[in-house]
Amino acid sequence: SPLFLDSRFRFLCWRIQMQIVVRPTKKGPLTVQVRSTDTIADVKRKIKEAGGTPTTTSHYYLSHAETTLDQDDRTIASYGIKNGDEIFVFILPQRLPPAKIQIFIRILGGATTALDINPLNTVADVKKKMRKKLKYLPEDCWMSLNGRVLVDHVIISDYYIRSGYTIVVHPPIRGGMQIFVK
């Protein structure tokens, strides 16, 4: 029967079968059979099955209300979607992982060595890679680029470090104090 008791809302609901139009998809406009009690997750699944649109890289919008359908647990009825309404699907480009870059590490008073890193690594991650490669790097050393001190928790790309840049590793300063002036 189309009439049922919804335990979440404690009132009678009608299971209304309806059609919604989805644009654009890989196959062009697509008509999907849904019920007013279907969740947005159910609708996304039906769209994916019918049109092959990936749900993880897509954004769904209700055309007449300019509403983002971003809460998967909400029902069609809660968004006010009616028979014949259009849902627009925007497929986002998949993000590729950033390419590794090669930087050079110059140890003050020592040699220079190449190191392949990910631009999303932190300065602390780069220090760990250096320790693995060089085996003798002190734990409390510090790094600089063009006179600027690199802080451990900051991401390499935040310093605009590009492939071919040289980072200088400084030995720890024993005793006294270290003062940095901007």
For the segment 126-177, what is each residue's pLDDT rounded down to a tens digit? Answer: 999 988 887 777 777 889 999 899 998 888 988 889 999 999 998 877 766 6
For residue 59, what are the β-bridge partners? 90
Output the pLDDT for position 7.
43
In the CATH hierarchy, which top-level class contains the domain 101-170?
Answer: alpha beta
Largest CA distance in the chain: 83
The CATH number given to 17-91 is 3.10.20.90
Residues of the chain with CATH 3.10.20.90: 17-91, 101-170
Output the pLDDT for position 2.
40
Q: What is the mean pLDDT of the chain?
A: 78
Please state whether the predicted TM-score (pTM) of the whole model is above 0.75.
Answer: no
Cα–Cα dist 157/6, whole Å: 51
